[in-house]
Amino acid sequence: MTITGHDRDADADAVRVLKGLEDSCSSVRLRAGLAAGTAPDPRFVDRLVERCAIEPEFLVRDMLTWALTRHPVAMTLPGLVREVRSERAQARSQALHTLSKIGDRRAWPAITRKLLSDADTDVARSAWRAAVVLVPDGERPALAEVLATQLGRGERETQLSLSRALVALGDVIGPAVRAAATSPDPYVCAHALATQRLLRDPDAGFEFAIEEAKRVIALGGSHQGGR
């Protein structure tokens, strides 16, 4: 086999990209991620996945995800599915985020109930977003039931993420969210009512929906108290 000048140039470019991904300067890592996505190479896949787990800069992580989406799914899927089981929260979160961007439903079995209720909020939110993208049609009601168990969790931004995920599933969420709206926990109840409002009127806005839900509960007089 004859090695051409083009091959040598490609090898040199690949080496520069791989070194760039490990550079101490975030701008160099960002450019390396851009190069990895602009000229995909099987040699980049494992390093991109590994880097996602430890990269401290959001913009660089986003570029790494984009670069992975530019590679064949057959190459990226095994590593990403492996990462969602990592002990490192960032590895789980970024792998889930990347899977949601790739959108290949073969990754659905990796979205477990454990991930959907992960103690790390960033992981859970990434799992919710990935789940609604990857879920097969026949699994949507079951997913709605699992997501409904997370109602009332976290601060407003987290609650908005969950409501958006539920609303994206459509009318199948009805039974699960109605059941949650009868919860004795006022935070679960308010979140469920706000989600119902958003399902009926997506333009209502979450802040308006949650405040309206609180008023409904207060007028009902059955859910009082605080955390």
Return the amino acid letter for 113. Answer: R
C-alpha dihedral sign at 204, 206, 210, 215: negative
Asked whether 44 and 73 are in contact (CB, 8 A), the reply is no
**What is the tens place of the pLDDT at every residue in 126-173?**
999 999 999 999 999 999 999 999 999 999 999 999 999 999 999 999
pLDDT band at 6 (very low <50, low <70, confident <90, very high): low
| pTM score, whole prediction | 0.87
Q: Can you tell me the distance from the alpha carbon of 36 to that of 42, in angstroms, rounded to the nearest whole number?
A: 10
pLDDT, residue 160, reads: 92
